[in-house]
Amino acid sequence: MTKLSVNINKIATLRNARGGNIPNVLNAAINCQLYGADGITVHPRPDERHIRYKDVLDIRPIIKTEFNIEGNPSDSFIDLVLSVRPHQVTLVPDRHDAITSNAGWDTVRNRIFLTDVVATFKKAGIRTSLFVDTNPVNIENAAVTGTDRIELYTEPYASGFSLNAAEAIEPFIKAAEFARELGLGINAGHDLNLDNLNYFHKNIPWILEVSIGHALISDALYLGLENTIQMYKRQLAD
């Protein structure tokens, strides 16, 4: 069964816009778990414009499901992950000033670097995942690094879904099949929502985990957090 990890960055963005501690990020993490989320994802960036490093430290003790930390593996990020020891770290090649992650790793150019980082985390007992596109070359070289999983960058699928769903999903099916042949676990994320998630899941049912933040938190403004999480879970159950 595909697990749902809720990315709570947007809740921290709202808090930071006003200052103070409303909405409370820790309470949000607790409630997401209570409402059925299979995991919590955070993506701290160097400027701490949403999730802060202190949030990550504070959240770790309250996680009863699975904790996934995303980010570009700078020295400070690596130190944070090693101190927190989440269940999973997802390495993402975003620039420090990126609004959101918008590309997967070039695993050919960065293979040696990624191999070293993956080894560091695996030595600490932390499952690793690399954010990649559907290019088989990048998937093959991701496997060479020793990573446990990849996370497919699904923005191209989401963008093309309303125009031609079958065409949009095809490269992701091929990529997922290839990754499975290489022995990689497969996660997915970016712009997945209530409209496109079920079709993605039905076509690639062996996806282990989807990480969803922006769409889910936005839907929760209208539908309520508990109801929204359950709606997303149902998309993964059919």
Which residues form the catalytic set?
43, 70, 190
End-to-end CA distance of the chain: 10
CA angle 19, 22, 23 (to 5 degrees): 125
DSSP run (H or E) holding 131: strand 127-132
The one-letter amino acid code at 198 reads N
Q: Provide the β-strand partners of residue 42.
A: 69
Residue 183, phi-psi category: left (phi > 0), alpha (psi -120 to 50), beta (remainder): left
Torsion of CA 38, 43, 48, 54, to 10 degrees: 50
Report whether the peptide linkage leading into residue 23 is cis, meaning its omega lies within 30 degrees of zero: yes
- CB atoms under 10 Å from CB of 63, counted, come to 17
Q: Are the C-beta atoms of 141 and 109 separated by less than 8 Å?
A: no
